[in-house]
Each structure stands twice: as structure tokens, then as C-alpha cells.
Structure 1
């Protein structure tokens, strides 16, 4: 994979002393790392990213006592390449983007935490969204029509819908008239509303949280304007990811900080997640995402065999 230009996502952070590591260990990683850079995927526009994570940035600065900087790349691959090039230390990734980063770095990244919902679930769903007033009521109605995917490294916006639609007999390469990449979830949904696309792949967490619901809250689309006609099996929520070559005490402390943000700063937690059903985080490891790595490889083989 070629190294591509990107707008790096940076987050500068220092870590408070934990009982496990003690003051000496905390100071030890500070002597090696003076800036912690933090990547965020481009599921929405950069301005909204900045606003959503501003309180979290303040939370880290308050608890860590160092400057925090956040940036987002113009594509998912920008964040993945930044991790691979050691240009950022941490990133919030979707499952497929994590799998891409794991493959790109030959296992040089590790997941730290993932999302926990109030019903105990730890996943979300890919959906195919259409205008509610359109004639499209099922995937059968989309034959020969345009289905926009979000990004090649998006789990819910590409890998999962592509793979599952193919398994269900809807070969994306031949069944739809066109399958462009919109660049982001919000752009795809807006394209549906504006008539640029007949349908778009995006995600929901539940009936009240997801990309379409968030866009209604932000006034980008109207309530009742977008419906979904296809829903995937549950997808494992993506992880906060760290470069594996970082000091262990730094990784464990960042993991602890993120795990504690719901209790220590509920406002920052609510803003950064944008999901009233998310109540916290769970610790995760690579085994949780191994099937995503395998799914991405199978999709690559399918497309390569077809000359795509």
C-alpha cells in the first residue's frame, strides 16, 4: 500500500500517575514521548469532529497537564497511513479501519477499548439508506440503481454491506448500476436526500443513534426524510487503537483515561460519542477483530479475481 498524503490527527497528552505504574513509570514515558497525536476517522465534516472532541481534549489536558492537539484526515486511509508511519500514536477506528491498520503495519497496532451500550451490546449495524418517499422498499428494488459506499476502509459503509449483500445474492459489482464511494457517511446520506444517489450504506447503533439520526439533530436533514431498507448482522464496534511500539505504561494509562471519562467528565463523554445509549467502554484485544481481518482479505480476493 502506498503512503498517501494526509492531514494527520494529533493529540498531545500526558498521563496521570496510576497505582499500577507509579510516578517513576509515568515520568519515564514522558521522557520518551512529548506529543501524543490522536486520529479520528472522517465519518463527518472536520468542523463537527473538532466540536465533538473539544471537551474530551479539555478533559485530557486537565488530567494530564499537557497540550492536546486533534486533527482528522480527509479519508480513512489517511489515519491508517499515519499510524503505519508512526505519525500518530492513537486513533478511534472502525472495525474495518482497525483491520486495515493491523494488516498495513504487520500487526503493529493494538486495540484498547470499544463501546458499551446500555443494553449490554457492544456492536452496531450497517444499513442501506434511501429517501423515505422513494419507491425503494427493499434491495430488490435497487437493481440497476446507484448505491453509494462511504469509504474503502469503512466497516459499516463498505466492507460489511459489500460482503453480506454478496452472500445474499446481490453482487455489488453487477447488481447495482453504480457503486461509487461518497467519501464519508454524511456525504452519502446527503447524496441520497439530494438525489445524487438512490441509496447509501451507513450505520445505526439503534433506533435513536446513528449517522442519519445525528444528521437530523444537526439540522442537516429533516426527520422522516431518510429510511433504511436493509440491515446487516451486528458488527463489533471499532476500537480506540494504539501503536504497539508505544511505551506500555502510556498505552495502559490512555486506556484508563478513556475508560474513566463517562464518570469523570460526563459532558465530554456525551459529546464525543453522540449516542445517548452508550454508557461506557469495554477493554478489547485483537482476537475480537480477527474475523474482520479475514473478511477484508476475502473481499480483496473476490475483487482481485474479478479484475476490480
Structure 2
């Protein structure tokens, strides 16, 4: 018999059939799970999203349990197996889920302090480095985030390819750091010459969040500030990642979850502000059509890998 609770710790742990999945198959959801990609470290992600799970539980009248996945693929597999009925994705991980047959639909994403519900992929270098353009980075070491990260992998590959730069052959070494925090930490500590992360605005980005908390230190232990980093490349605008739900949920429940999220900035401002340190302006309703360009990006990247 499947145990009543399963701790999510990666794709393998998410793959089995859960009691929630059995209940949903019978049309009787008695509890739900919210799975979240590891954009930041597990502790910070829990601090941001645990209140969201509690808010949703009260708003829809069904207990919602938070699960922080070890990698982006784990969230995809959790939804595929029916073990995560609600998910917070990056745009590329949502697109990959759809491309691989997961029956999930986006509900909302965040409107940033820039006034748009979008962000950029950027390449950071140390401010005291000699690098001035991307061309100066030939043969250097690039820290990426995760294969299913948008700004931390797929967007750099896509947009640099359009400029005639193949990530895999241009850089001397690339590696996946596992999260946006770790990508920038690799740059800070000298294990990478350049790091890919997300960037909403000059005051809302990975470097700004980490330096504000004194969490970026170099190899000698010196605490770094924003003055120690410089953006050397910024991509065109990307859509923010969505909260998404399985289409197997009853339509009225899907709508209730969507409305609860849209209402969160007014009904529970503290929880909403906790997602972005108070920098986001609200949630915006989205549809699958908003992510078609990201599906095209992944299809292009897939086609390029097949040529290698």
C-alpha cells in the first residue's frame, strides 16, 4: 500500500502513485500538493512558498502541501505522475512539461516592478574582470543553472546561437550549478568566469538578492557587493514562469485556485510580498499561448543538439 505521505526529494521520489492521485482519479481531491522548482536554495524557497501553500489551503478549503524539488525535471515528473496537482514552473520547464505530454495549464504569473510580467536572461562577470563583450569569453568557463532553466540555460543557448555562438563549442567549459544562487556563487568563488541567471530589474535579480543578504563571498571569504558584478549580456524579454495546475482537476477547482492566486496580493499581501521581497506588483492571468515562443525556443535548442 502506498504510504499516506511521500517526501519529495527529486524525480525518483515523485514518480510513484500517491493517495492524492488515487483520490483525483476518483474525482475526490482531499489534499493537493504544490511542487516548486529550486530557483533559490531550499531554505529560501521554503520560506517563500510555504505561506503560499497555507494561503491556498484556506482559500480553496483543501489542504495544500508544499514540496520543494531537487531539480526542475522533478516538478515535471511530479505533475506527470499526478503527485503535484499545482506547480510553480519556470517558462522552459513548463514548456518541456507540455512538450512531453503533461496535461497541465498555466494560471497566472507575476507582474514585476518593471510593470511587465517578464524578465531577462543575463550573463554576469566579475566587475574587475577584463571581459567587455561576450566575444571576450571565448574558451572561458560558464556556469549554467539547470537543463530545464529558461534564463539559466535555454535562453542563453537560443539567443547566443542567433548571434553565431554555440554555447557548447564557444566556451571552454560549461556546467550546471543546480540553482540560480549556485550559478552566481560559482562566479563569486572563481570556479566560473561567467554565470547565467535571471534578471527582472537592476534591483530585482539574483545578484541583488544575494548581496543584500551578504551571501556572496569570494574564495578568500570576502563579502561581495553589487559593485563586484557586471552584466555583460542581457537577452530579450521572456515571459515569467507560471503557476500551473493539472487539467485533471475539476474545472471549478482549477478556477478557484486561479482566483485565489489573483486575489493574493489584496487578501494576503504579506504572503505575496514574500515571493519577491515586496518587489512584485501582482499576478496576471496567462494562457498556454503565452508560452508558445518558449516551446519554439526549446524545439530550436533540441534541433541544435541533434546536429552535434
With normalisation by structure 1, the TM-score equals 0.87
- Alignment correspondent of 2:124: 129
- Alignment equivalent of 1:300, drawn from 299, 302, 305: 302
Instruction: Indicate the RMSD between aligned Cα atoms, in angstroms.
Output: 2.3
Q: Secondary structure at the match of 2:198?
A: strand
Q: CA separation in 1, counterparts of 2:294 and 2:260?
A: 27
CA spacing shift, 1:179–1:98, aligned 2, 3 Å: same
Counterpart of 1:25 in structure 2 is none
What residue number does 2:143 align with? 148
User: Can you give the 5+ residue segments of structure 2 that lack an aligned partner in the other structure?
Assistant: 1-9, 217-223
Q: Which residue of 2 aligns with 1:254?
A: 257
| Structure 1 gaps, min length 5 | 14-27
1:37 aligned onto 2:33: yes
Summarize the Cα distance change of 1:268–1:4 in structure 2 as closer, same or farther, 3 Å threshold. closer
Q: 1:198 to 1:275 in 2, by over 3 A?
A: farther
Q: Aligned partners of 1:195 and 1:136: how far apart in 2?
A: 14
Partner of residue 171, structure 2:
176
Q: Deviations over 1:90-120 (max 9, x none)?
A: 11111101101111225x1111111213443
Q: Distance in 1 between matches of 2:191 and 2:93?
A: 26
Question: What are the equivalent positions in structure 2 for 1:257-296 lying under 5 Å apart?
Answer: 257-274=260-277, 276=279, 278-296=280-298
Match of 2:107 in 1: 112
Does structure 2 conserve the Cα–Cα contact (< 8 Å) formed by 1:29 and 1:250?
no
Pick one of 65, 74, 78 that aligns with 1:78: 74
Cα deviation digits, residues 268-299 of structure 1 (max 9, x gap): 101023351x2111111111111111210111
2:195 paired residue number: 200
Deviation at 1:205, TM superposition (A): 0.3
Aligned to 2:12: 5
TM-score, normalised via structure 2 length: 0.87
Alignment CA distance shift 1:5-1:257 (3 Å): same
| Counterpart-to-counterpart distance in 2, 1:80 and 1:169 | 31
Secondary structure of 1:71's aligned partner: strand
